[in-house]
Amino acid sequence: MKTDRREICRILILSALCIVAAFSAFAAEPQTRVVLLGTGTPSAEPDRSGPAVAVVVGGQAYLVDFGPGVVRRASAAYARGCNALAPTGLDIAFLTHLHSDHTAGYPDLILTPWVLGRNRPLRVFGPPGIRNMTEHVLKAYEEDIRNRTEGLEQKSPIGCRVDALEVRPGPVYEDARVKVRAFPVNHGTWKHAYGYRFETRDRVVVVSGDTTPCEALVENASGCDVLVHEVYCEAGLRFGPASFREYHSKSHTSTRQLARIASRVRPKLLVLYHLLSFGCGEERMLEEIRQGYDGKVVVGQDLGMY
C-alpha cells in the first residue's frame, strides 16, 4: 500500500512539473508576431508583393499598408497556420502614406474579404487623404457592390463598409491587445508620412514606412523588440542617373544610414523590407549594414514570420 502511495505521489509530482514546464514554454513564446505580407517596392518583382506588414496579436491581425497582393499573401499565411490572417478576419489596417505601391491593394482589402464573408466594416487609420481615397474606391466599385448586395448573392452591405479615420501623429488606436502610435517620418515631398509603433503585452514592434533617417523614428523605436525598416543598397544607387540618385537619397534610407540608426535604437531584431536593391544581392546589403551594426539583422521575405 505504501508503495502505491509513493508511486501516486511520484506521478502527481511529475505531472505538476510537466504542467509547469509547458506553461513556462508557453509564457516564453512570443504572443505577438510580425508577418511580412509584402517586402517589395514599385518594381513588379514576382517574389515580393507590395509593401504590407501584419502585426499579429493573439487572434487579431493589424495591417500596416496594403500593397498589391495583400489579401492573397494573407491567405497564404493563413494556409501556413496563421489563423489571424484568414481573409475574412482582415478588418483593421494602418496606412503610412498614399504612394501607389502602398495602396494599390486597397480595393482588394475592401472587397475580397467581404466577398468571402467578412461581415464587419473595415477600419482604416491613415494620413490626411485616406478618406478621399476611400470614397473614390467605393465609388469606382459601386456597380459591383450593388450587384452583390441586391442581386443573387445577397451579400451583407456591412462587410464592404469602410470606416476611414484620418489621424495625426500620436496615439491613434487602442484595444485590449495593443496600443498604436503614429509618428511622422520624412519621405521626399510627402507632407504626411508616418511610421507606427505597436505596444503589446510582450513586445514592441515598429514599422518605419518609407523614410529618410529621422529623429522621430529613433525616439519611437528605441529599444524595441522588432524594427521593420525600409532600405536601399548604397553601392547600387551610385550607378543610377542623377535624378534617380537624388530622389532616392531624399526619400529613403541607405544601408549605411540604417546601420547608424540601428546602432542608436538597438532593436532585438532588425528586419529589412521595401528592399531597393538596385541590382545588389541580399548579401551585399547585409554586408553594408554589418559594417556599421553588430546586432541581429535579417533580410525580410514575403511570408516571413518574426
Q: Which residues contact 150 (CB under 8 A, 6 or more apart)?
A: none
Say what the pLDDT of residue 4 is: 63
Cell numbers standing for residue 272: 529589412
Instruction: Output the CA–CA distances (angstroms, integers) from residue 159 to 123, 143, 228, 273, 283, in the order listed.
Output: 11, 16, 30, 31, 44
Average pLDDT over residues 192-220: 98
pTM exceeds 0.85, yes or no? yes
Please tell me the predicted confidence (pLDDT) of residue 243. 84
What local confidence, expressed as pLDDT, does residue 11 receive?
53
> Quick one: pLDDT at residue 30?
64
Among 56-65, 161-170, 244-253, the least confident range: 244-253
Distance of CA 81 to the CA centre of its chain: 18
Evaluate if residue 45 carries a pLDDT over 80: yes
> What local confidence, expressed as pLDDT, does residue 124 receive?
98
Spot the catalytic one: 101, 108, 210, 225. 101
Amino acid 241: pLDDT: 83
Q: State the Cα–Cα distance between residues 90 and 85, nearest whole angstrom.
A: 7
Strands (E) across the chain are located at 32-38, 52-57, 60-64, 92-94, 122-126, 162-166, 170-174, 179-184, 194-199, 204-207, 226-232, 269-276, 297-299
pLDDT of residue 237: 82
- For 15, the grid coordinates are 505531472
Tell me, yes or no, if 101 is annotated catalytic: yes
Q: What is the pLDDT of residues 47-101, one digit of tens each?
A: 999 999 999 999 999 999 999 999 999 999 999 999 999 999 999 999 999 999 9
275: left (phi over 0), alpha (psi -120 to 50) or beta: beta
- Residue 189, number of CB atoms within 10 A of its CB: 8
Of the CA atoms within 13 Å of residue 182, those in its CB half-sphere come to 21
Please, what are the domains in the chain? 31-299 (3.60.15.10)
Q: Are strands 52-57 and 60-64 parallel, antiparallel or unpaired?
A: antiparallel
The average pLDDT across 28-50 equals: 90
Report the run of H or E that residue 112 belongs to, with start and end: helix 106-116
C-alpha 38/C-alpha 301 separation (Å) is 8
pLDDT the model gives residue 18 = 46
